[in-house]
Amino acid sequence: MPAEVLDARDIARALTRISHEILERNKGAGDLVLLGIPRRGVPLAHRIADRISAVEEYDVPVGSLDITMYRDDLRMKPARTLLPTEIPAGGIDGKVVVLVDDVLFSGRTIRAALDALSDVGRPRAVQLAVLVDRGHRELPIRADFVGKNLPTSLAERVSVRLAELEDDGSVDSVAIGVPAPATKGESA
């Protein structure tokens, strides 16, 4: 049974803190563009933009960056559905792009995002905001803004649930658990 480590209020506080840290590091919101990595990074990016606009009275452009075709595990896993890449109207050239994702693990998703980003423009700088950093990096990538550091074992799974993406009426939560072993005929 997964153990909840963050509830909706914890997530809201973490996103508010991340938003303020982004503003402080960048001395305002004027050159920012937030790009969420689908699936959960996109609603998180929108939430961060809402918090920034409440403080700065400036609407930060938000988009999404699909990394599917840039992943290094395409040949090892089943085919994936391509998700939309939506770059805000002003583009990203010369801007500070903040990539937003839910969980930072090996770093491979972010490496793919950096490759995808180079195909859509040339930002002045790229920063990374994640809700959860669980460690176990395989690449030299670190987040600039972290909601919660959750040391985990490799056997554990971090599950992020966001109300915008759940059909069952769930509220926001982050839980850690060990996946049940696969039974005969099932894949893990």
The winner for highest mean pLDDT among 78-87, 148-157, 173-182 is 148-157
> Is the pLDDT at 183 greater than 60, yes or no?
no
pLDDT class of 80 with cuts at 50, 70, 90: confident
Helix 8-26 and helix 41-56, axial crossing angle in degrees, nearest 10: 60
Going from N- to C-terminal start, the domains of the chain cover 8-153
What 113-116 contacts at long range (C-beta under 8 Å, 24+ apart), as own/partner pairs, is: 113/35, 113/37, 113/65, 113/67, 113/70, 115/67, 115/70, 116/65, 116/66, 116/67, 116/69, 116/70, 116/85
pTM confidence score: 0.92
* E-assigned strand segments in the chain: 3-6, 32-36, 62-64, 96-104, 125-133, 145-149, 157-161, 173-177
pLDDT of residue 188: 38
Architecture in CATH of 8-153: 3-Layer(aba) Sandwich (3.40)
